[in-house]
């Protein structure tokens, strides 16, 4: 009975350590949230539309020497079905040690203060998910489960964590067009983000001797559970956008940042992103005769 109990405890310890090593270790902490490019179409008339694709990079060293980075793609669409009314869609997928998917829909107002200054304000809803983890292996002794002997074998297992998100947001912006076919946009996205449905998947492998790591791992898992059980978090996300090109095709550069007042969440999010993309605008303006 004692041997079986020791064996079971050893298995649980490896699961916890594997989760730490692959997801929530001191050198790499899984992020549960990543900002993504904002849709700021800069509409002026009914019937205008846009399609765009962007390469996205998220990075954050969180004050440590180890930098967490993630890359992906964002696909966006926008259309103005009515005068002063715009609709937007945004799908973003990011992947590295973490994986994020986010889909958003928004509708709102646009209006021109002058030929060169446009105001917009959109409100919307988004859903998404994150996944973090990896396969891992440890050298395990075949002789009495003693990790200090030299008779080792490799034990392969896995640890993954998943969590879903939903958000409600408003996004006011101002677009300035200093010259033809060039624009600067400044956006400020205010979101209420809710994390839910935390799922942890871990493979089993017998071993002992990792007692020093167990307490730290338990703290990390407890933090993930606190984030899930917490009510919706407030996110403030400013962005700066530059567009330039032709009437129909423009390149776009955008950088953005995320800030939240909750310290527990602030330690496990990506704080900035940059994106480079190509935008197609339709329909083409008719030349005046």
Distances (CA, A) of 254 to 74, 114, 238, 243: 12, 24, 11, 9
Cα distance between residue 185 and residue 173, in whole Å: 7
CATH number for the domain spanning 79: value is 2.40.160.20
The 3-state secondary structure of the chain reads CHHHHHHHHHHHHHHHHHHHHHCECCCCECCCECCCCCCCCCCCCCCCEEEEEEEEEEEECCCCCCCEEEEEEEEEEEEEEECCEEEEEEEEEEEECEEEEEEEEEEEEEEECCCCEEEEEEEEEEEEEEEEEEEEEEEEECCCCCCCCCCEEEEEEEEEEEEEEEEEEEEEEEEECCCCCEEEEEEEEEEEEEEEEEEEEECCCCCCCCHHHHHHHHHHHHHHHHHHHCCCEEEEEEEEEEEEECCCEEEEEEEEECECCCHHHHCCECCEEEEEEEEEEECCCCCCC
31-67 confidence digits (pLDDT tens): 889 999 999 999 999 999 999 999 999 987 654 444 5
Residue 126 lies in a domain: yes
State the pTM of this model. Answer: 0.79
pLDDT tens digits for range 246-280: 999 999 999 999 999 998 898 888 999 999 999 99
Residue 67 phi, psi dihedral angles, 5° rounding: -100, 130
Give the Cα separation of 28 and 250 in Å (integer): 37
Tens-digit pLDDT profile for residues 128-167? 998 876 665 556 555 555 555 555 556 555 667 789 999 9
Q: Would 251 be classed as within a structural domain?
A: yes
Residue 278 inside a domain? The answer is: yes
Mean pLDDT of the chain: 80
Residue 46 falls inside a structural domain = yes
Separation in Å, CA 169 to CA 2, 10, 23: 55, 46, 29
Closest alpha carbon to 276 in 225, 233, 241: 241
Residue 289 lies in a domain: no
Domain assignment present for residue 145? The answer is yes
Q: Is residue 117 part of a domain?
A: yes
Q: Is residue 157 part of a domain?
A: yes
Over 60: is that where the pLDDT of 170 sits?
yes
- Please report the pLDDT score of residue 31 as a whole number: 80
* Structural domain count, the chain: 1
Q: Which domain holds residue 242?
A: 2-282
């Amino acid at each position: 009975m004692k041997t079986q109990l020791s064996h079971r405890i050893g298995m649980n310890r490896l699961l916890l350590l594997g989760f730490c090593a692959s997801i929530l270790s001191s050198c790499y902490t899984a992020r549960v949230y990543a900002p993504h490019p904002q849709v700021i179409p800069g509409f002026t008339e009914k019937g205008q539309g846009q399609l765009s694709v962007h390469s996205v990079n998220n990075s954050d060293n969180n004050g440590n020497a180890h930098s967490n980075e993630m890359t992906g793609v964002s696909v966006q669409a926008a259309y103005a079905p009515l005068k002063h009314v715009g609709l937007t869609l945004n799908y973003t997928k990011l992947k590295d040690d973490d994986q994020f998917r986010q889909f958003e829909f928004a509708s709102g107002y646009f209006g021109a203060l002058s030929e060169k200054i446009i105001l917009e304000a959109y409100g919307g809803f988004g859903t998404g998910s994150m996944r973090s983890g990896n396969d891992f292996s440890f050298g395990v002794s075949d002789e009495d489960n003693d990790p200090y002997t030299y008779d080792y074998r490799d034990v392969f297992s896995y640890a993954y964590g998943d969590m879903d998100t939903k958000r409600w947001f408003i996004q006011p912006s101002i677009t300035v067009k200093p010259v033809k076919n060039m624009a600067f946009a400044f956006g400020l996205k205010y979101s209420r983000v809710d994390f839910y449905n935390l799922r942890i998947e871990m493979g089993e492998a017998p071993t002992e001797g990792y007692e020093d790591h167990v307490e730290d791992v338990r703290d990390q898992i407890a933090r993930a559970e606190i984030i899930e059980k917490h009510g919706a978090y407030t996110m403030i996300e400013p962005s700066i956008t530059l567009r330039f090109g032709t009437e129909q095709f423009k390149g776009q550069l955008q950088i953005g940042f995320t800030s939240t007042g909750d310290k527990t969440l602030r330690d496990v999010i990506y704080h900035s992103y940059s994106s480079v993309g190509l935008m197609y605008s339709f329909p083409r303006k008719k030349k005046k005769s």
